[in-house]
Amino acid sequence: MAQNPRTSETESAPTTGRNSGLTRRNYVRSLAAVATATTALGGAGAASAQDDYEVIEAEGQTITIDAGETWENKLIDMTTGQDIIVTAHSSDWTIRNIGFKGKNTSGTGSATFGISDTAGGTCTVENVYLGDGSSTGNGNPNGHGQTAFWVAPDHSGHIDFKNVNIQNFADNAIYASAPGNKGGGTIHIDSSFAANCYVSHFRLATAGSKVTNSSVYVDSSEGYVGRGIWAWAPGTIEVDNCQIEMNGQNSAIVAGANGSPTEVSVTNSDYDDKAGISEEAGSSVQLGDSVGTEPEAVIPDGVPTSPEDAASGASN
């Protein structure tokens, strides 16, 4: 089965502007009962029509999104036990209103989405639900497994993530540090939520990349206790109006790795001081205005809390 390749990077071991939305305690594993989607047709990559979205069974297939294409209103049925890969390595594409139903138990250790803008354009990922998570695959909760989003090293444009919900993935939720070594493209994660993932939740590297109006939550319910926000070189990475609630697990914010220094600028945010800040390899975390240590991670308004809400666009 084709896989999204991984970068060669290695891993080293109340204020103003608070996010609005559901409280985290209402959200964690609180997927409301919904009507079961119509069974998909048989055969590889089979799909069935819904009133407002299409159901696609995961059967080891790869879906490719071309330049300028919009791929939207899909419910991906992961209860088959198989994997599915979505790739978009072109320019000016859009991924919108996509919900994944069921945990990824395939054990492939691939990336569900492998993406990049390779022509200096702007791409969009919005209203995506990956909240049912993945199994470890190798039986080690703090090892490597399935990645939700992987941004390829050749990324030279810009990608906007908005209203994305990623939980319980055995590897990074948004792994977007590889372009720092090559393409230099930027990433903006806005109004999104990530919880209980490993190795990190939001991982960025290039100057101009930022995380805004978003939350990270870790309670070790799945054993995945990855870093909150991890900034690789060259940076600077901006963090604004974010809630990083780690419950003492790992580090809330990490700057630098493997001898590569970078800087993180934090404003209008709260982070878990029990988890703390890690400054590696000459890196620094600059705490600006209205930064506190009493985080309350919430799901931002507009973020889908079920596969069906995402696929239908109801949450948007």
Q: Which helix (H) or strand (E) holds 244?
A: strand 243-245
pTM, two decimal places: 0.86
- CB 173, CB 152: distance < 8 Å: no
**Cβ distance 147 to 171 under 8 Å?**
yes
C-alpha to C-alpha distance for 61 and 46, rounded to whole angstroms: 10
Neighbours of 149 (CB within 10 A): 28
Q: Is the pLDDT reported for residue 35 higher than 50?
A: no
> What DSSP string describes 257-309?
BTTB--EEEEES-EE-TTT-EEE-TT-EEEE-TT-BS----EEETT--SSHHH
The reported pLDDT for the residue numbered 63 is 98
Over residues 12-41, mean pLDDT: 29
Cite the DSSP H helix spans in the chain: 24-27, 307-312
Quote the CA–CA distance of 99 and 307 in Å, as a whole number.
4
**pLDDT for 64:** 98
Cβ atoms within 10 Å of 225's Cβ, excluding its own = 21
**Strands of the sheet with 111-117, listed across from one edge:** 62-64, 85-90, 111-117, 147-151, 174-176, 200-206, 227-235, 253-255, 277-279
Residues 240-279 have pLDDT tens digits of 999 999 999 999 999 999 889 999 999 999 999 999 999 9
| Lowest-confidence region among 58-62, 74-78, 144-148 | 144-148
**pLDDT range class, residue 196, cuts 50, 70, 90:** very high
Burial class (CB in 10 A: 0-12, 13-18, 19+), 139: exposed
The pLDDT value given to residue 38:
26
Quick check: 143 and 170 in contact, CB under 8 A? yes
- Among 172, 165, 201, which Cα is nearest to 306's? 165
Please give the angle made by the CA atoms of 44, 50 and 56, to the nearest 5 degrees: 20
Helix, strand, coil percentages (3-state) for the chain, rounded to 5, are 5, 40, 55
Percent of the chain with pLDDT over 90: 75
- Label residue 41 by pLDDT band (50, 70, 90): very low
Task: Return d(Cα 216, Cα 227) in angstroms, integer.
Answer: 9
Average pLDDT, the chain: 85
Least confident of 2-16, 49-63, 253-267: 2-16
Rounded Cα distance, 61 and 85, in Å: 6
pLDDT (0 to 100) of residue 37: 30
Residue 50's pLDDT is what? 54
Query: Which of 31-45, 72-86, 132-146 is predicted least confidently?
Result: 31-45
What average pLDDT does this structure show over 62-90? 98
